[in-house]
Amino acid sequence: MNIKSNLFLGLSASLLLFSCGKASESADTDEQTKQPNIVVIYMDDLGYGDMSAYGATELSTPHMDRLANEGVRFTNGYASSATCTPSRYALLTGRYPWRNSDAKILPGTAPLIIDTTLMTLPKMLKAQGYHTGIVGKWHLGLGSGQVNWNEHISPGPNEVGFDYSYILAATQDRVPTVYIQDGNVVGLDPNDPIEVSYSENFEGEPTGKDNPDMTTMKWHHGHNNSIVNGVPRIGFMKGGEAAKWSDVDMADHFLEKASAYVKEHKNEPFFLYYAFQQPHVPRTPHPRFEGKSGMGPRGDVILEADWMIGEFLKTLENEGVLENTLIVFSSDNGPVLNDGYYDDAVEKLGDHTPAGPLRGGKYSLFEAGTRVPFMVYWKGKVQPKVSDALVSQLDLLSSLAALTGSTATGEDSQDLLQTLLGESDQGRENLLFEATGRTALRQGDYVMIPPYKGSPVIKSVNIEIGNSPEYQLYQLSTDIGQTNNLAASQPEKLEAMKQEYSRITGKSLE
């Protein structure tokens, strides 16, 4: 080999090394600048004390606990409302739900309550180059008030920022009991059209009230209309037999759709809103989980949901995207045991305390109504931490906008990105939360509940909801169970909080 050949080979090798080095450097840069995937896992009626990471001793939730123990676990994380629809509205819009009079528990026939011109979490992320999807419970209304379930349904999730939607319209205990994909009922036979009403039954259709012998789950209150799969529901439905869901397979079905979404969009930034139906009623665990908790169906579906989360995390790992995926886990409101069916939730509760040390539950202005499990997990990026910072689901829009380089924000959403990532201990200074049209104020360590008329307890569910003829003031740092009303002994603090409440709401308190 001559000198010229050696020079040529040496130069070629140098160019190859230079090229490889540049390619490697470029790949590293791409990896560093790549937008993280974002997943919001949203439970339904999961209480502050329903996870072992939050103190539960009678239930083991290892996969939920993984998110809590390997991420940032918030002790003061809040939903915006003590019921489902308002919290979901706030999470997606960054607006307090009391600003929208329609943001209340909706029937399955309600129109869409999110203005399609409003900024939303999926809309913001879509503008940042994300593919956006929702799998699971919606319950924010569909259409404009007169839905024909046998045609394309619009507006809905796809009109407020989601590229892909696979949902149930309202709740598992409400009709219509069908899945809807991108505005179309899945598996609908055009020769068996769907009819839905929340005012009157269809002639000849059995109901839980009139035909209890046809039910496999007995109703306690409010759930005595159309029977589907042996379960009496809220509302009346006729037709659509081929499209009706299987309750015991619902969790598996949504897991399949969520996993498929990840696999399909793993090569682009994606946002998935994975909205579980558990442990909302009717609690219908798959036979694999039936009896596993010893607490009846409510405990069983929590274990089922925990397993689903574990399987979903496996999908993220197997597809190679877990380390580039930010996961937020929370619940739409606090716990309830008997919420319409006899299902042994009360009788088999044992020593389990779904609300943990908190007072109240779903529907309540006391802490257990809105203080919920709240974790942020990002493998390799977020270090394990327990944070006492005050944070709200309202803040996801502005915080995730900051993460992805957007300038978008929600009306009441705050940029707490560094707090959510565990890099700051600074949370909100105040937070207004809501329960069935009533509002209360958290400021620092204190909570102020204005006077409200009505029974202090919802007897059907046996939950204290916070109504009192007097002002209530509690210092949570020393009285997390809200047993000592300080309104009379700390009048200056009460007055200051009344002024702050009025400033936020625009309504004066007497």
The answer to whether 339 touches 223, Cβ cutoff 8 Å, is no
Do residues 113 and 103 make contact, with C-beta atoms less than 8 angstroms apart?
yes
Contact 370, 68 (CB under 8 A): no
- The pTM of this model reads 0.93
Q: Which fold does the domain 434-505 belong to in CATH? A: Arylsulfatase, C-terminal domain (3.30.1120)
What's the CATH code, domain 35-194+239-426? 3.40.720.10
| Beta-sheet pairing, 463-464 with 457-458 | antiparallel
- Spatial separation of the C-alpha atoms in residues 175 and 194, rounded to whole Å: 10
Three-state SS at 401:
helix
Determine the Cα–Cα distance for residues 283 and 223; give it in Å rounded to an integer: 13
Show pLDDT as tens, one digit a residue, over the chain (510 residues). Answer: 443 444 334 444 444 444 444 444 444 434 445 899 999 999 999 999 999 999 999 999 999 999 999 999 999 999 999 999 999 999 999 999 999 999 999 999 999 999 999 999 999 999 999 999 999 999 999 999 889 999 999 999 999 999 999 999 999 999 999 999 999 999 999 999 999 999 999 999 999 999 999 999 999 999 999 999 999 999 999 999 999 999 999 999 999 999 999 999 999 999 999 999 999 999 999 999 999 999 999 999 999 999 999 999 999 999 999 999 999 999 999 999 999 999 999 999 999 999 999 999 999 999 999 999 999 999 999 999 999 999 999 999 999 999 999 999 999 999 999 999 999 999 999 999 999 999 999 999 999 999 999 999 999 999 999 999 999 999 999 999 999 999 999 999 999 999 999 999 998 887
Domain boundaries of the chain, sorted by first residue = 35-194+239-426, 434-505
Contact 139, 97 (CB under 8 A): no
Per the listing, tokens 């937070």 go with 431
Closest CA to 482 of 339, 375, 351, 370: 370
Rounded alpha-carbon distances, angstroms, from residue 85 to 164, 272, 308, 379 = 20, 19, 23, 31
Nearest C-alpha neighbor of 39 from the set 450, 263, 316, 429? 316
Q: Could you give the 3-state DSSP secondary structure of residue 25? A: helix
φ, ψ of residue 148 in degrees (nearest 5): -100, 105
Phi-psi region of 24 (alpha: psi -120 to 50; beta: other; left: phi over 0): alpha
